[in-house]
């Protein structure tokens, strides 16, 4: 089945530094990937929709300049948290839809295992 890989799974960084998280679809192509953020014991909040070859679409309240999203190919999207601060510490999860899944897979998203960011 479809697999989405996220890297790194855990990252600790100092305040003020930038961190890049990669999201790869391993065995399928995805023109659209979604980035979610999850706080402890809470639900997943959609941050942005990443579109291959074009700018990402951000949800209201999400800072575009802080959370840079690049979708350079059909199998890779990256999320860069710039000038990270402790309040950016969270669990970031990406997801993608298998273009080749056809009607049976309509809008079924495959999720990565998530990346836990801790900013000191």
Interacting residues toward another protein by CB under 8 A: 4, 6, 31-32, 34, 36, 42-46, 49, 93, 95, 97, 106-114, 116
Closest distance of CB 83 from another protein, Å? 26
Rounded to 5 degrees, what angle do the CA atoms 57, 69, 100 make? 75
Of 45 and 76, nearer to another protein (C-beta) is 45
Of 86 and 102, nearer to another protein (C-beta) is 102
Name the burial class of residue 40, with classes exposed (0-12), middle (13-18) and buried (19+) by CB atoms within 10 angstroms of its CB: exposed
Backbone angles phi, psi at 87, to 5 degrees: -70, -10
Of 61 and 106, nearer to another protein (C-beta) is 106
Judging by DSSP bridges, how do beta strands 57-58 and 76-81 pair with one another? unpaired
Closest distance of CB 114 from another protein, Å? 5
Closest distance of CB 16 from another protein, Å? 26
Cis ω before 8 (30° cut-off from 0) = yes
């Amino acid at each position: 089945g479809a697999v989405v890989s996220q890297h790194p799974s855990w990252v600790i960084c100092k305040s003020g530094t930038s961190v890049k998280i990669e999201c790869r679809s391993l065995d399928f192509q995805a023109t659209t990937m979604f980035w979610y953020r999850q706080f402890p014991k809470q639900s997943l909040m959609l941050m942005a929709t990443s579109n291959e070859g074009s700018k990402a679409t951000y949800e209201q309240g999400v800072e575009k300049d802080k959370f840079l999203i690049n979708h350079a190919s059909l199998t890779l999207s990256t999320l860069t948290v710039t000038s990270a601060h402790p309040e950016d510490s969270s669990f970031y999860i990406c997801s993608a839809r298998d273009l080749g899944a056809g009607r049976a897979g309509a809008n079924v998203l495959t999720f990565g295992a998530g990346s836990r960011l801790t900013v000191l």
